[in-house]
Structure 1
Amino acid sequence: MKTIKILGSGCKNCETTAKLVSQVAEEAGVSIALEKVTDIAAIMGYGVMSTPGVVIDEKVVHTGGVPSLEQIRQWF
């Protein structure tokens, strides 16, 4: 199981990113634990200054916008 965190304030782009990640993980048959992190201090703790950010197993893999489906597929 992969642990995935969506970093952001809960804006539309953050919600879209969470939905896309869930969708692609399900299509790939990968079990995930999805967490939304909205605390600014926690987000900055990952070194993310532009949201949404995506963290997989404690490694930042994306920041600053909604990732493409192709990008997300590469993570799985």
Structure 2
Amino acid sequence: MKVLGTGCSSCKALYSTVQDAVAQLGIDATVEKEENLEKIMAYNVMSLPALVVDGKVVAKGQKLSVEQVKALII
């Protein structure tokens, strides 16, 4: 899983939320934070933060709760 963002507070919050969701689900997953704009642009995302699961953008430009993230990653 990747959280795409430039380091803004919303991006950091989503990264933390994703880590919490993974821990609550008890799954073995790696959560990465991608801040490189060239790599972010490769996902064709114009709104940040964005969440990528298994190479697919599943959410972008919105604040997500732990419950919403859990629904997206299971």
With structure 2 as the length reference, what TM-score do the two structures score? 0.90
Q: In the aligned structure 2, how far is the partner of 1:15 from the partner of 1:65?
A: 13
Residue 65 of structure 2 aligns with which residue?
A: 68
Aligned residues: 73
Please give the alpha-carbon distance, in whole angstroms, between the structure 2 residues aligned to 1:65 and 1:13.
Answer: 9
Report the RMSD for the aligned CA atoms in angstroms: 1.0
Identify the residue that residue 16 of structure 1 maps to in structure 2: 13
CA distance in 2, matches of 1:65, 1:10: 15
Higher share of residues assigned strand = 1
Aligned to 1:26: 23
Paired with 1:32 and 1:66, the residues of 2 have a C-alpha distance of 21
Q: TM-score, normalised on structure 1?
A: 0.88
> What are structure 2's unaligned runs of at least 5 residues?
none
Structure 1 distance, partners of 2:6, 2:57, is 17
Give the share of equivalent positions with the same residue, in percent: 36
What is the deviation of 1:69? 2.5
SS of aligned partner of 1:6? strand
Name the residue aligned to 1:37: 34
SS in structure 1 of the partner of residue 47 of structure 2:
coil
Structure 1: 4+ residue segments shifted above 3 A? none
Q: Give a deviation string over 1:18-63, Cα, whole Å, max 9, x none.
A: 1111111111111111111111111111010010000011011010
**Is the Cα–Cα contact under 8 Å of residues 3 and 15 in structure 2 kept in the other structure?**
yes
